[in-house]
Amino acid sequence: MTETRRIQLHLGKCIEDLDKLYNVPDLKSKRATLLCKTAQKLFESAEEARAKGDEEYSYVYYMKYLRVIAFISKDKEYLKDKNYFNNMLGPKNPNKAIDAAEKLKISLIERYAKEQKAKRLMDIQENELIKQKIDENRKKAMDTIAAEPPPPTGLPGPDEVTIKSDQLYTILKNGKLKVMILDARPGKDYINSHINHPACISVPEECISPGQSANVLEQNLPSASRPVWAERASSELIVMLDWSSTTVIPGKPLHLLKTILLKWDIKVQYSRQPVALWGGYEDWLLKYPAFTTNPQAIPPSQDIMLDDMLGEIDYPNWSDLNPTPAVSRPISSEPVIDRASKSAAVELYAERSRNMQHILEQQELIADTSLTLEMQRIEAEQDWEKIRQQGETEHRDELRAMYQLREQEIISQLMQLENKQFDMEQENQSLREKLEDYQRREREEAAKLAESIARSHLAPSADNEAVATAREREAAARDVEAKRARIAAVTAQRVSLDRQREALETERKRKLAEAREKQKPNYKEEDTESYGSSTESANAALNRSQSSPNIAKVSSDEEEPVVPSFDRSTKPAKVAPSSELRQRDFEPVWADVGRGLTGLKNLGNTCYMNSIIQCLNNTAILVTYFCNGQYLEHVNRSHSTRGAIAEELAAVVRGLWSGQYRFIATKDLRNEVGKHQRTFRGSEQQDSHEFLTILMDWLHLDLQFSIKPPLKENLGASERAWHEYTKSKESLVLRLFYGQIKSTVRCCVCATHSATYDSFSNLSLELPPHASRCTLSDCLKLYLNGETIPGWNCPNCKDKRDAVKKLDISRLPPVLVIHFKRFYLDPKEYCNAFRKRQTYIDFPLENLDMRQFSLNCPGNPVYNLYAVSNHYGSMEGGHYTAYCKSSVYGKWYKYDDHLVTEISPSEVKSSAAYILFYTSCER
């Protein structure tokens, strides 16, 4: 019988790597019967892998099998009835596994040794080749330098405000001039990558503000920048740069920095004004990546940077194109009431009185509900304190973990109760304004009615009618006052409870501080979730992303695979078994739950990741694509992540839709994400929007396939730009989530216009400033309204002109993701002081019509909401959850890490809404 062909080694580099993989979790809680079934599956997997020639997986499975067998042999049930369990396991299988594992180990040790030896020889050969190429390139460069004349070393003209990258490169290369480079990008961007020049320093954008002097700015600079900054007087050329500016725009960081240097730097007189690097660091990075500290840095997308350059302009809205016909109204501002009829006035008063009564009843209901929420918060605070103390005194790991899990649940509940109270206060404020308006109008009407009665000569019956009307007024007024008194009493009780809760929280913090002080030498911070009022949340500030990375343009000559087709009316079918051999440890908690209703364990501030995964897990077409295994046909190994992100997410989706787990852990996905993005590597809280944007780009690149390029002659401007962006490489993720924005810039003098197109995976919308309530329509109008650009280089006028920039949606995706910019930099605070807007945004759950906000886009412009990513708390400490509508059960569910509960549709709208997921597909 011929020997099975062995496949290439892929799981490790030595036998020690494999030894780390066959550990099994704690099996104390598992019954012997279940363990026997597990052992059988492991043995079968080992045999199957061995038959395929995969010695590594076969060895790991055999060793896992033997570990489980060793545990079963010590189980009480096994000792009672050995024959039964031995027959279940197969009497010959353990010995067979031992023999096979020993042979595999010997074979693998030999193969690893041969592979390492071959790799060393290959490395030596590659080093020799590299050395030869370096020598050849150096010789060519020397010959070229000798042949070419020396480049010019001139400075920019006295009237020039910018310098090109190639000109600056020439000056730096010659080294004859003393040049200082002031990098005015955000501090974290400078740390990530900057120009490799000794006198290039960080002047962080967040430290530059109007009215500053050079002395104040120097005090706010990073310590590494100050020594170089002190030498600015002797610099012959000072170059300022941001990410992509091509001019110095008033009010922006470069203009503010230039003003500080020229007007508010008393100690220094500059012989030459500072100049800006044309095109900013993005242009330098593109042309001279070798002269940067990190050539792999990703510039912010143009959408965000151009938004920052815009002013305001009164631009017509789409809704203005079809104005509603004007309704003729009386010229008088007074209500049209028949004053001759007293019954009409009485009826008007009665109607307003009923409206006032209704508002008061709503306020009364809100006051009662708010009181109930406050009591629940106090009860939760007390439970939290009790659980925390029990968790600190508990020494057994399993019970301590249980207490920590329960503590996270209570803290999450507290933050959501606080958010509900905030929403109710906003609603109560709206009702209070309506009530005051009714009262004002009622007083005016009462005065006019009294004047009418006083002027007329009433008959006795009319006098009786007036007296009856007055009595009705008095009775209604007493009823109103009684309801107000009750509302005031309930409000006072709530305020008292609120003070009691604050006292409990203060006392708890004091005790916690004392306990930590006593244990200070041995204290080690736990890697758990940071929430709003917890003292552990000091380092949990959200890392804000100001932009979304562009999708890399990857080209290859792959054969055209089958393009994925999907039926928008389909729902996720049965879960397809994974074709991947690698086993994942989801640390599952078993339970019989509905499909798609499995929670995700919090691995230490990973709620931001869990929230986004659950939203994607309820995108029906994407779930079908992962569960039926169709994605395996499109996994792209040429990208930097080598398809691993898509594979790990697919495994998680299959686990969530298996219906057999209460919750699972996403350790493998988190580790894979951390390999490729340092931000998500640690245990600090991160921004779910930043994670979503980067994840979308990864998935698109991981699942790319080539398509036949269309003829450009037959395409319009929008389609041509789209195909230039995709480079004939598409994916299901691209087709589902990506859309296109048209940006039109029009000169205010000659009306010359220029149009560009940019893609997006989500729309990031500003909120109306100083508004406690707004609508999604308000945010979209604010995003799409035209704005002015001062100093635009008009190609027709050949001069700098004021221009108008207008955004339009030129391509709507089937799945529309909308992000609200709730976090902003507070100018009243010091550097990096971000705040959160708690604005309540009213958004439709169904029938969001995007026709008024887009051009003539193909496809269905009407969307229904199916998922929301929520953020509770503040910048200092927050928590993420998800609200998702199941495509199987048609109900809304709340995904709070490992907890999944059903909610009513009325709970979906709240001031915690952060990212909305809409679909135009049938679910």
Active site residues: 607, 879
Cα–Cα–Cα angle for 402, 408, 413, nearest 5°?
A: 130
DSSP-assigned states of every residue in 230-246: TTGGG-SEEEEE-SS-S
The partner residues of 823 in beta bridges, in order of sequence, read 836
Contact status, residue 249 vs residue 309, Cβ threshold 8 Å: yes
562-565 own/partner pairs: CB under 8 Å, 24+ apart: 562/633, 563/705, 563/707, 563/730, 564/625, 564/630, 564/633, 564/634, 564/705, 564/732
Distances (CA, A) of 22 to 25, 195, 304, 400, 748: 10, 47, 48, 26, 70
- Ordered alpha helix ranges (H), 296-341: 302-307
Q: Which single residue is written with the structure tokens 């604010």?
A: 782
CA distance 420 to 412: 12
Minimal CA–CA distance to 811: which of 897, 874, 748, 722? Answer: 722
Residue type, 738: Y
Coil, helix or strand at residue 797: coil
CA 206 from chain centre, in angstroms, equals: 22
Q: Provide the token pair at 146.
A: 């000798």
CA distance 357 to 169: 75
CA distance 61 to 883: 39
Q: Provide the token pair at 278.
A: 């044309």
Q: Provide the token pair at 430.
A: 């709206």
187-190 own/partner pairs: CB under 8 Å, 24+ apart: 187/222, 189/243, 189/281, 189/297
CA distance 685 to 682: 9
CA distance 100 to 42: 14
Contact status, residue 866 vs residue 885, Cβ threshold 8 Å: yes
